[in-house]
Amino acid sequence: MNRFSATKPAGGRSVDEITGSRRLRRMRKTPWSRRLVQENKLTADDLIWPIFVIDGENRREPIAAMPGVFRLSLDMAVKEAEHAASLGIPAIATFPYVDMALRDDTGSHILDPDNIINRASRAIKAAVPEIGIITDGALDPFTSHGHDGILRGGIIVNDETVEQVAAAAVIQAASGADIIAPSDMMDGRIGAIRDALDVNGFQDVAIMSYATKFASAFYGPYREAVGTAGLLKGDKKTYYIDHANSDEALREAEQDLLEGADMLMVKPGLPYLDIIRRIKDEFSVPTFAYQVSGEYAMIKAAGANGWIDEERAMLESLLCLKRAGCDGILTYFAPRVAEILRG
Ligand code: PBG
């Protein structure tokens, strides 16, 4: 019996009569009981940190739409990777800023073993062997038009792009990447990358598929970060998934698993919690979300205005991604979160 309320609200039944004495607030009563029944936890083990790398030395270029995120020259990137490893962050994902002079219609610079991504892998692997390195196979940072594939006659050509992405994956693996994470959404890329890695002796290099990557407005700040914002004409709707669709996302996930993906990713994160849950329930495979640049920017902007508590919103959004079914999350907040979690 609740000692404070034997009354009957609105003259009807008492609360005990309504709930049958079931009171879900009992376990919420104290911090210790809340801790005891907490179902999900966020730890440093859940974090993958995406970083942007750029040529030069001692460079830390701010990205306007992503306060607190920088394009890093390799010396700086190595330092940050060391810091991330010391915080217990398992892996980083690298994205390049490529000068316009090195970009072309086919993104051919992705095949250069000495491009900034491959040099970053070698430098980080040598200095911080304990951190996992994830590289993207998509062409967008390397193309003059900012699309993820080879553009011919206004069409992103699938099979030719797949060939190039698979070749790039082999070079990335040879440079030290532990996980290849292709974000281009071409059909057949996972199988082609798996074949190419295996034929070249990289059976142990894993594939994290950006399996369900949606055509989304939330990628805006990233495009500033990698320098494609002003280049991109049109949209990516002929290769990314329509954000109205969920069954289609499941078919993409299934297909990538059949082709050999070791892990799946949902991107963006927070607006797609239903997709994460469906994938986890359906396939029971390691499932990740990418809390993308626009999600980061929203939390930062509202926080900076004092409209939300930035730190709490950050932690809540990440824990909710775990609750939805994520095994891990790519997030620009990774080092800050790891620092907070360390206490
Ligand atoms: C493209 C790519 C995108 C992101 C990473 N690689 C999307 C895009 O530019 O269309 C987005 C990452 C983010 O927004 O944080 N292959």
Q: By the 8 A CB rule, do 133 and 190 touch? A: no
Rounded distance from Cα 219 to ligand 1 centre (Å): 5
CA 150 to chain centroid: 23
pLDDT recorded at residue 8? 79
Average pLDDT, integer, range 136-156: 95
Best CA proximity match to 48, nearest among 296, 291, 317, 325: 291
Could you tell me the domains of the chain?
Answer: 41-342 (3.20.20.70)
pLDDT of residue 9: 74
Best CA proximity match to 327, nearest among 237, 266, 282? 266
Whose CA is closest to atom 8 on ligand 1? 219
pLDDT tens sequence across 222-259: 999 999 999 998 899 999 999 999 999 999 999 999 99
Question: Among candidates 262, 266, 83, which has minimal Cα distance to 190?
Answer: 262
The reported pLDDT for the residue numbered 1 is 43
Encoded amino acid at 86, one letter? S
Burial classification of residue 111, based on how many CB atoms lie within 10 Å of its CB (0-12 exposed, 13-18 middle, 19 or more buried): middle
- Check if the beta carbon of residue 167 is closer than 8 Å to that of residue 133: no
Cα(300) to ligand 1 centroid in Å equals: 18
What is the rounded distance in angstroms from the CA atom of residue 279 to the CA atom of residue 225?
30
Residue of minimum CA distance from atom 10 in ligand 1: 219
Neighbours of 312 (CB within 10 A): 11
pLDDT above 70: residue 5: no
Give pLDDT tens digits for 86-113.
Answer: 999 999 999 999 999 999 999 999 999 9
Structure pTM?
0.96
Q: Are strands 150-152 and 91-96 parallel, antiparallel or unpaired?
A: unpaired
Q: How far apart are CA 52 and CA 113, in angstroms?
A: 18
Closest residue (by CA) to atom 6 of ligand 1? 183
Pairing state between β 287-291 and 263-267: parallel
Give the model confidence (pLDDT) of 37-86 as tens digits.
999 999 999 999 999 999 999 999 999 999 999 999 999 999 999 999 99
pLDDT band of 11, cuts 50, 70, 90: confident
Parallel, antiparallel or unpaired: strands 47-53 and 70-72: parallel
Nearest atom in ligand 1 to 139's CA: 16
Mean pLDDT estimate for the chain: 96
CB-CB contact of 325 with 281 (8 Å): yes
pLDDT digits (tens, 9 = 90+) for 282-296: 999 999 999 999 999
Give kind and range of the element (H or E) at residue 62: strand 60-62
CA within 13 Å, CB half, 224: 16
The candidate with the shortest Cα–Cα distance to 95, out of 128, 120, 113, is 120
Residues annotated as catalytic (active site), given as ranges: 213, 267
Q: 339 C-alpha to center of ligand 1: Å?
A: 26
Instruction: Report the C-alpha gap between 77 and 27 in whole angstroms.
Output: 45
Q: How far does the centroid of ligand 1 lie from the alpha carbon of residue 250, in Å?
A: 20
Asked whether the predicted pLDDT for residue 317 surpasses 80, the reply is yes
5 or 218, which is more confident? 218
CA distance 128 to 145: 34
For ligand 1, residues with CB inside 6 Å are 136, 138, 140, 148, 183-184, 219, 222-223, 236, 292-293
Name the residue type at position 186: M
Burial class (CB in 10 A: 0-12, 13-18, 19+), 267: buried
Is the per-residue pLDDT at 4 higher than 70?
no
Q: Phi, psi at residue 295, to the nearest 5°?
A: -65, -45
Q: What is the pLDDT of residues 170-218, one digit of tens each?
A: 999 999 999 999 999 999 999 999 999 999 999 999 999 999 999 999 9
- Ligand 1 atom closest to residue 294's alpha carbon, by position in its atom list: 14
Residue 58 corresponds to which tokens in the numbers above?
A: 């001692």
